[in-house]
Amino acid sequence: MNFNLFSLFQKNKSDLVVPDTILVKRIKSLAKNSDLKVFSNVDIYLHKQSYNIELMLYDKIRGLYLFEIKKWSFDDLKNSVIEKAQNQEHANNTLAFDKTQELIKRKYNEINHTDGPKIYNYLLMENLSADEYEHLDDSFKTLLPKEKIIFSDSLTSDIFKKLESEDKVPVGQRDNTALEILLTQYTKLEDDGSFTLCNDQEIEFLNTPLNDFSNLTIDFQTGQTSLLLLKAIIEVFKQRHKKIILIKPTTLARDIAYKKLLEIIEHGIIEFDMNAIELLTPLELINKHLQKLKKPMIKDFSEFDTKLLKKSFQIADLVICDDANLLDAQFIGYIKNIQKNKPAIFVNLTDEQIATQFTLPSALETKTYQFLQTHPLAKTMQLIQKLLEENLPNDILVVSNPQNQQKLKDDLEHFIEHNALDIEGGKTLLEQNLEELRLATYNDMFELSTKHIILLDLCEYNEKQIEYAFNLATKSAYVLYDNSCEIIELLKEKYESNQE
């Protein structure tokens, strides 16, 4: 029997899901209590293609390790010789070493104009021992040297020593963003414009196929919108779902999310039909349905016809409903009806009947909270003046009822001589300059991340709205009130105790 290097690295479709064999478990164990990162059955996305790698380990000190898993036994190989194939570098569906490195380097070059980290290639021989290797034809030892093979009898310590034998990269030449560039489908866009790698739980959520209604419980500061956009991109790229709709509460929130989608796609150099992912407000979705039924469109939910709850509507393969806990209950029922035979994700929905639950850990609380019983409008002016000494105008967001929103706008222009923007959730992003100091109501504040938030009129709104507003700030939150009420006392007990 003859093998060439093309057939040796030919990739079988049945091998796309890598089981956790003993060797795989040993390599994964190396990542425990260390800075090593291990990914199994991971895809590399570039333009319109995805390329699968069975097992990959990243060491920021040395570089990227790629593992090809093979199950050949000594009996399979003992009477064989191998030779390098002429067409190895042109083969499809292969993990031939040259081809893999070429694709990875191409992605790094297109994003940051470097070859990226050093790349090392290893074979995992699941059914071949180190002693059996010595009895194979010399052609194996020439093209597949022993130091590049992990054998079936390799202990974890042996594997570590073999990987550790590679040269360290000098500190000044190490790339701290290597994984964020390579694994763009697992890289979140943060509010400050940076990209960070998702944690293990988030990656598990992104990889999980969806077959029913699911509820994702997630804290706003964990990059909620970016994570949902990544989920949509992966579902489309893997062709699990060809049409996805992401629901955002307001027109402005929809536009901000769409801008993030474009930035994520541009950063990852990913190409696909942009019509596959559509962002809509609840009202826009309902009006699409009414238009299909040739009925008059509505302007607000007071005109919502409950008969729509019983009508079928083949709108998408997957619907992702963000901030579902803050949306009209009838609209949630409507989504469940039109998607009853297809999957849907509801974010932060309180519903024990949802089949699948994803709960992601909350972000670490690093901001400060201040509860001040005072004259709210006067104190707001003082706080804004103080915050503007060290912050940009768009680092500040004031949330109140509509009446106080207008009073604050007039006072800011008269006393501080500073422009302030009245946020209107029903207007598009192009119609509003979010670089200015921002004033919003509790119905218009969606997707407005900020460093500092000042909250007024809390007693007029419910706890879910207030919790959402608290999570918009990254550094400090101020609650201003003249008379206390139950919700303020509950918030004081919860948030002031967190700072002790």
CATH value at residue 8: 3.40.1350
Query: Is residue 37 located within the same domain as residue 101?
Result: yes
Query: Is residue 328 located within the same domain as residue 412?
Result: no
User: What's the confidence (pLDDT) of residue 96?
Assistant: 52
Q: How far is CA 268 from CA 49, 190, 264, in A?
A: 12, 15, 6
| Token pair of 261 as six digits | 């989608």
Weakest-pLDDT range from 10-19, 44-53, 68-77, 294-303: 10-19
Query: Is residue 317 located within the same domain as residue 381?
Result: no
Query: Is residue 318 located within the same domain as residue 197?
Result: yes
**For the residues 125-149, what does the mean pLDDT come to?**
88
User: What's the confidence (pLDDT) of residue 4?
Assistant: 38
The angle at the Cα of 443, spanning 439 to 445, to the nearest 5 degrees, equals: 45
Query: Is residue 328 located within the same domain as residue 390?
Result: no
Query: Is residue 153 located within the same domain as residue 202?
Result: no
For the chain, the domain total comes to 3
| Token pair of 278 as six digits | 């559509």
| Token pair of 271 as six digits | 């190409």
Residue 189, number of CB atoms within 10 A of its CB: 21
Out of 57-71, 95-109, 353-367, 408-422, the most confident range is 57-71
Residue 256 above 70 pLDDT? yes
Residue 63 above 90 pLDDT? yes
Query: Is residue 120 located within the same domain as residue 106?
Result: yes
Residue 500 above 60 pLDDT? no
Cα separation, 362 vs 493, in Å, equals 19
Query: Is residue 346 located within the same domain as residue 239?
Result: yes
User: What's the confidence (pLDDT) of residue 84?
Assistant: 58
Alpha helix stretches (DSSP H) within 49-174: 74-77, 97-112, 130-133, 138-143, 156-164
Query: Is residue 341 located within the same domain as residue 235?
Result: yes
Note the pLDDT tens digit of each residue in 362-407. Answer: 665 678 999 999 999 999 999 999 999 999 999 999 999 999 999 9
DSSP string, 224-236: HHHHHHHHHHHHH
Backbone angles phi, psi at 107, to 5 degrees: -65, -45
Query: Is residue 242 located within the same domain as residue 151?
Result: no
Q: What is the CATH number of the domain that holds 295?
A: 3.40.50.300
Q: How far is CA 439 from CA 2, 29, 418, in A?
A: 74, 50, 12
| Residue that finishes a domain, picked among 179, 202, 237 | 179
User: What's the confidence (pLDDT) of residue 388?
Assistant: 92
**For the residues 29-47, what does the mean pLDDT come to?**
88
Q: Sorting pLDDT into bands at 50, 70 and 90, what band is 87?
A: very low
Cβ-proximal residues to 134 (8 Å cutoff; 6+ apart), any chain:
none
| Residue that finishes a domain, picked among 129, 147, 179 | 179
Residue 248 above 90 pLDDT? yes
Q: Sorting pLDDT into bands at 50, 70 and 90, what band is 143?
A: confident
Q: Sorting pLDDT into bands at 50, 70 and 90, what band is 18?
A: very low
Query: Is residue 341 located within the same domain as residue 372?
Result: no
Cβ-proximal residues to 149 (8 Å cutoff; 6+ apart), any chain:
122, 123, 125, 128, 133
Note the pLDDT tens digit of each residue in 332-357. Answer: 999 999 998 899 999 998 776 787 88
Query: Is residue 212 located within the same domain as residue 172?
Result: no
User: What's the confidence (pLDDT) of residue 73?
Assistant: 87
Q: Which domain holds residue 152?
A: 2-179
Note the pLDDT tens digit of each residue in 439-486. Answer: 999 999 999 989 999 999 999 999 889 989 988 998 999 999 999 999
Q: Sorting pLDDT into bands at 50, 70 and 90, what band is 498?
A: low
Residue 93 above 70 pLDDT? no
Q: Sorting pLDDT into bands at 50, 70 and 90, what band is 175?
A: confident
Do 312 and 277 contact (CB within 8 A), yes or no? no
Statement: the pTM of the whole predicted model exceeds 0.85: yes
The angle at the Cα of 471, spanning 466 to 474, to the nearest 5 degrees, equals: 140
User: What's the confidence (pLDDT) of residue 326?
Assistant: 92
Cα separation, 332 vs 489, in Å, equals 30
| Token pair of 158 as six digits | 């042996």
The angle at the Cα of 129, spanning 128 to 134, to the nearest 5 degrees, equals: 100
| Residue that finishes a domain, picked among 309, 329, 359 | 359
Cα separation, 143 vs 96, in Å, equals 12
Residue 453, number of CB atoms within 10 A of its CB: 27
Residue 102 above 80 pLDDT? yes
